[in-house]
């Protein structure tokens, strides 16, 4: 039996759950219902999707996803570095504790922040006990970014950690023997070798952050909408699958461009790979 036959179930799985939905999105994006009840080819949905109102929501989504990704990188790299360099026997336990919240349902983790950030929540109750005024912590972009960072931070830490632990210690020792101090070793050896993990982490955080809708709905409220919320509203509430597909197509192209850029940069750093 040819080995390619073993890939048949996966090929069928991809055809049903990936390629077929994409083809449906393309079909609905470039069609609309005619007055006679049929379907006609049109570019109206695509043109309307570039209305300043919708592009403004898209730019806001890109910006918040960028901010959340940058914060995850600033927080996640030191954590991954400390876990990778630690010689403690409890490193595995610490790593498990770090990813433990991921075992909980995504919506439940986000709902938990409502209890903490609400006007009558734990944080504002603590402020009241300290004699401080209540602070509006919910239903703004800061709360949305906080939710993104909390939910997606492990996706930044794990890829970076997996690369850092594979760095050959003899390369570090060689740099130290040549007179490099700790900062130079990190700048010239460790960080360049960890770039593939950084790029993977950026991709794994940015893509779900830019497409999220549950976080913005719960923590941002009805007054704060991201592009994912806009797409969901078109499919679920407005029932306009054609325009919703046009918006989804724009999002899909944006995600593919992001993946292409990160992949191109990753190939440029391919000389630092350890595998």
Domain regions of the chain by residue span: 53-272
Name the range with the highest mean pLDDT among 26-40, 50-64, 112-126.
50-64
Please give the Cα distance from 173 to 149 (Å, whole number). 35
Q: What is the pLDDT of residue 124?
A: 87
Angle 227-236/52-85 helices, nearest 10 degrees? Answer: 120
- What is the model's pTM? 0.87
Q: Chain-centre distance of CA 263, in angstroms?
A: 16
What phi and psi values does residue 40 have, to the nearest 5 degrees? Answer: -125, 150
Tell me phi and psi for residue 33, to 5 degrees.
-80, 130
Containing H/E element for 33? Answer: strand 31-33
pLDDT score, position 273? 43
Neighbours of 145 (CB within 10 A): 21
Quick one: pLDDT at residue 271?
Answer: 47
CB 113 within 8 A of CB 150: yes
Q: Which of 29-38, 54-63, 218-227, 259-268 has the highest mean pLDDT?
A: 54-63
Helix axes 91-99, 52-85, angle to 10 degrees: 160
pLDDT confidence of residue 1? 54
Residue 20: other Cβ atoms inside 10 A? 11
Q: Which residue has the tokens 């997606």?
A: 152
pLDDT greater than 60 at residue 155: yes
Share of the chain above pLDDT 70, in %: 95
Q: Which CATH class is domain 53-272?
A: mainly alpha
The first and second tokens of residue 75, run together, are 């927080």
Identify the band that residue 91 occupies on the pLDDT scale cut at 50, 70 and 90: confident
Residue 93 has pLDDT above 90, yes or no: no
State mean pLDDT over 227-255: 93
* Residues whose CB is less than 8 angstroms from the CB of residue 230 and which lie 6 or more positions away in sequence, other chains included: 54, 57, 247
Helix, strand, coil % over all residues of the chain, rounded to 5: 75, 0, 20
What is the enclosing helix (H) or strand (E) of 63?
A: helix 52-85
Query: What is the spatial distance between Cα 254 and Cα 207, in angstroms, rounded to a whole number?
Result: 9
Give the model's pLDDT for residue 129. Answer: 87
Task: Tally Cβ neighbours within 10 Å of residue 61.
Answer: 25
**pLDDT (0 to 100) of residue 274:** 37
Taking the C-alpha atoms of residue 232 and residue 212, their distance in angstroms, rounded to an integer, is 10
The answer to whether residues 190 and 167 touch, using CB atoms and an 8 Å cutoff, is yes
Q: How confident is the model at residue 128 (pLDDT cuts 50, 70, 90)?
A: confident
pLDDT computed for residue 106 by the predictor: 86
């Amino acid at each position: 039996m040819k080995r390619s036959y073993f890939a048949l179930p996966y090929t069928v799985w991809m055809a049903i759950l990936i390629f077929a939905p994409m083809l449906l999105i393309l079909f609905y994006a470039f069609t609309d219902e005619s007055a006679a009840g049929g379907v006609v080819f049109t570019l109206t949905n695509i043109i309307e999707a570039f209305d300043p109102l919708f592009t403004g929501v898209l730019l806001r989504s890109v910006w918040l996803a960028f901010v959340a990704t940058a914060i995850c990188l600033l927080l996640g790299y030191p954590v991954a570095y400390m876990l990778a360099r630690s010689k403690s026997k409890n490193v595995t336990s610490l790593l498990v504790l770090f990813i433990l919240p991921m075992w909980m349902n995504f919506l439940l983790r986000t709902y938990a922040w409502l209890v903490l950030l609400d006007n009558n929540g734990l944080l504002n109750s603590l402020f009241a006990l300290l004699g401080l005024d209540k602070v509006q912590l919910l239903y703004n972009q800061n709360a949305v970014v906080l939710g993104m960072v909390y939910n997606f931070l492990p996706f930044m830490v794990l890829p970076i950690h997996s690369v850092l632990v594979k760095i050959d210690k003899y390369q570090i020792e060689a740099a130290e023997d040549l007179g490099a101090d700790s900062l130079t070793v990190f700048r010239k050896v460790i960080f360049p070798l960890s770039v593939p993990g950084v790029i993977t982490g950026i991709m794994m955080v940015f893509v779900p952050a830019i497409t999220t809708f549950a976080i913005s709905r719960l923590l941002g409220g009805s007054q704060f909408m991201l592009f994912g919320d806009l797409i969901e509203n078109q499919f679920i509430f407005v029932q306009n699958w054609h325009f919703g597909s046009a918006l989804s197509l724009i999002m899909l192209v944006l995600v593919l461009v992001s993946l292409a850029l990160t992949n191109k940069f990753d190939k440029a750093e391919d000389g630092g790979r350890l595998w």
